[in-house]
Amino acid sequence: MKIIIIGAGEVGFHIAHHLAHENKEVVVIDVNQDALDRVVDQIDVQAVCGSGSSPVVLEAAGIQETEIMLAVTDSDEVNLAACMIADSLSASTKKLARIRQADFDNYHDHFRTHAPNIDTVINPETEVVKMIIKLMRIPGAIDIGEFADGRITSVAIRLEQTTFLDKVRLSDFPAKTGNPGILIVAIIRNDELIIPCGNDCLAAGDVIYFICKEEKLADAMAVFDKKEAPLHRVLIIGCGRLGLRLAATLEKESIHARIIEKNYQRCQEIAAKLNKAVVLQGDGSDQSLLLEEGIRDIDVVITLTDNEETNILTSLLAKRLGARQAITRISKLGYLPLTAAIGIEQVISPRLSAINSILHYLRKGKVLSAILIRGEQAEFIEARVSNDLAIIGKPLKKISFPKGALITAIIREEKVIIPSGESMIEPNDRIVVIARKRAIPKIEKILAIKPESF
C-alpha cells in the first residue's frame, strides 16, 4: 500500500512513523526542507519538498499509484486544495483532509457526499472536547477510550503508592477485588508497556489500562479508589479555537465556566459568542489572579494556551494552589512521556486525536475503530470477525495469538463479553484487541484484513 502524507509537522511525522513500522510505502510532502530532513533522518520514508496543492509536486510523489492521500498540514485551505488537485490527477486515490476551523463543522457530511475530491474530513478538536468532558467526569483517569458504540470503556489510571493491589498477581485480581468485571490489558512500568498474562504482578506506581462495560465503570473506578466527584466550577485558561469549543459545550451542559484569556480583543470575541461564561482578561499563570478567582474552589482547571510550557506550569501552579483537578493541553507529542514525572497526569492532545482519527480511517474495512495508547507503544483495534477465520470456535487460551497482543472484549449482537481463557469467538462477533506496534501486521493477517480492503 502506498500512502502520501502532506504535511511533515507533528501529525504527519507520527503518522509516517507509525505506517513505516508496518512496512507501508510512505511519501511525505512539505514546503519546509528542515521538517522533511527530520522525517527522513528518523523514518524510512520518501520525501518531496514542495506544496501539497501543486499538481507538479503530487505527480512527482506518484499520486497516480497512491491508494490513500492524507492532507494534514496546519492550513485548512492547503488541505482542501490538495484534495481537489489530487482528485483531478487520480480520482481513485482516497483522500482525507484535516479541517479544524469551526466554520466548516456543519459541512463535513456535505463534503463527503457532494465533493468527489474528499473522501473523509476529520476535525480532531471535536474529539478533544469530548475527551476533556470525559476526563472531567472521571477524576483519576489518565486516558479513556470507547468501543462498541460506547458500551465498552478502556481507562488508564495510576496505582497509588498506598494501593492494596501492590504485588497482586493478575490471576488473583478477581478474587482480591470481588470480580468487578475488569480486565487489565496493559501495564506501563518505567515507561515500558507490558501486555500482561496471569502470572504478572501489579506494582504501586504502575499505569494500568483496563477494560470494562460502560455501566460498570463507576464500580471499576471505585476498586482503585477513584471516585466521581461533583462538577460545578470549571476554569479555562487560554481560549483559542479549542477553548471556545469547550466553553460552548459546557454551556449546553449547564456547567459554570470561567475563562482567563490574555488577549483583550479575543476576550471581546469570546464574550460575544458565549451567553453564560465569565470572561476575564489576564495571565492565567499569575498566582495572584488565580487566588483572586478562587482557585481553591475550582473543580477543574483546563489549560489550553498555544504554549505547552505555559500550560504545564499553570496546571502545576493551579494544583498547588488548591484546584482539585488539572487537565493540560500538550501539542508536542515528545512531551507526553515526561508529563507524569513532573506531576501532570491528565493530558489532552489535538495532534494525538488527529492521529487516532486517521488510524481509524486507515484501518477501516473489517476494522471499526483504532486508538493509540499514549506513548504510541500499542494500539486498541476494534474489528468485525469474518465467518471463515481460523480463530472461530476455539477457546481463547488455545488460539496462537501473536506475542504482544490480547483479545480484550467480545461483542455478540447486543451482548458484551469481558473474556476469559475459556471464551470463544463466534461468526459475526466484534472483538477489541490490544496490540503492540510490531504485532499489528500479524493481527491484520489473522483477521484477514488485506490491503485492498482499506
pLDDT digit string (tens) for 430-441?
A: 999 999 988 888
Angle, in degrees to the nearest 10, between helices 10-20 and 350-362: 40
pLDDT over 90 percentage in the chain = 59
Which pLDDT value is given to residue 343?
A: 85
**Comparison of pLDDT for 413 and 453, the residue scoring more:** 413
Please, which residues bridge with residue 301 across strands?
Answer: 235, 326
Answer yes or no: is pLDDT of 363 > 80: no
pLDDT of 367 > 90? The answer is no
Q: What is the pLDDT of residue 112?
A: 63
Check residue 450 and give its pLDDT: 44
Looking at domain 141-223, its CATH superfamily turns out to be Regulator of K+ conductance, C-terminal domain (3.30.70.1450)
Q: What pLDDT, on a 0 to 100 scale, did the predictor assign at position 341?
A: 81
pLDDT over 70 at 133, yes or no: yes
66-91: average pLDDT: 93
Asked if residue 31 has pLDDT above 70, the reply is yes
What average pLDDT is seen over the chain?
88
Question: Class of the 2-122 domain?
Answer: alpha beta
CATH topology of domain 353-453: Alpha-Beta Plaits (3.30.70)
The mean pLDDT value for 159-164 works out to: 92
Percent of the chain with pLDDT over 70: 94
Predicted local distance difference test score (pLDDT) of residue 111: 66
pLDDT of amino acid 8: 95
pTM of the full predicted structure? Answer: 0.83
pLDDT recorded at residue 315: 96
- Sign of the C-alpha dihedral, residues 215, 432, 189, 41? negative
Distance separating alpha carbons of residues 144 and 353, to the nearest angstrom: 12
Domain with CATH 3.30.70.1450 in the chain: 141-223, 353-453
Q: Give residue 71's pLDDT band: very low, low, confident or very high (50, 70, 90).
A: very high
Sign of the torsion formed by the C-alpha atoms of 45, 50, 55 and 56: negative
CATH of domain 233-349: 3.40.50.720
pLDDT in tens, 202-238: 999 999 999 999 999 988 998 998 877 778 899 999 9
CA–CA dist 272, 263 (Å, integer): 15
Q: What is the pLDDT of residue 305?
A: 95
| Residue 97 neighbours by CB distance under 10 Å | 29
Choose among 446, 441, 453: nearest CA to 388.
446
Question: On the CB side of 379, how many CA atoms lie within 13 Å of its CA?
Answer: 24
Q: What is the pLDDT of residue 107?
A: 66
pLDDT reported for residue 452: 38
Averaged pLDDT, 67-96: 93
pLDDT at position 361 is 77
Higher pLDDT, 391 or 153: 153
Confidence of residue 141 (pLDDT cuts 50, 70, 90): very high
Angle at 149 between CA 146 and CA 153, to 5 degrees: 25
Question: pLDDT tens digit string along 282-325?
Answer: 999 999 999 999 999 999 999 999 999 999 999 999 999 999 99
In the chain, which residues fall in CATH 3.40.50.720?
2-122, 233-349
Residue 70 reports pLDDT greater than 90: yes
DSSP string computed for 273-323: H-SS-EEEES-TT-HHHHHHTTGGG-SEEEE--S-HHHHHHHHHHHHHTT-
Bridge partner list, 256: 233
Task: Give the per-residue pLDDT at 448.
Answer: 62
- Name the residue type at position 75: S
What residue has cell string 475563562? 259
